[in-house]
Amino acid sequence: MPAHVLVADLFGIVLAVIGFHMAFRQHVVRALWDRGRAARGLPPKPRAPRPEADDPVHYALIIFGMMLFAFGIIIVGFMTAYALMT
């Protein structure tokens, strides 16, 4: 397989992994955001404890994460299928 297909596949896999974590492992993503704020010397954001159903960021992460997840899988599938068929 050509190198550009492998690079595109790697990019698609990275997108799919990031999207999976954003959609289904939100506590990991939020911990990374908090660590990034701490690394820049910013204070941690105060978060009021509330159920997931009341948190608007919860739904935004699910939607954006699923879009990244699907886009990554589509990139991998289409690039690999096209490279194998030509």
Q: For residue range 24-76, list pLDDT tens digits in order.
A: 998 899 889 889 988 999 888 887 777 766 788 889 999 999 999 999 999 99
Does 49 reside within a domain?
Answer: no
Instruction: Look at the chain and report how many structural domains it folds into.
Output: 1
| Helix pair angle (56-85, 3-24), 10° resolution | 160
DSSP 20-65: HHHHH-HHHHHHHHHHHHHHTTPPPPP-----GGG-HHHHHHHHHH
Does 22 reside within a domain?
Answer: yes
pLDDT tens for 21-30 read: 999 998 899 8
What pLDDT shows up at residue 52? 67
**What is the 8-class DSSP label of residue 2?**
-
Q: How confident is the model at residue 1 (pLDDT cuts 50, 70, 90)?
A: confident
Stronger pLDDT, 56 or 8, i.e. the higher one: 8
**What is the 8-class DSSP label of residue 86?**
-
Write down the residue that tokens 């991998």 correspond to. Answer: 76
Residue span of the structural domain in which 18 resides = 3-42+55-85
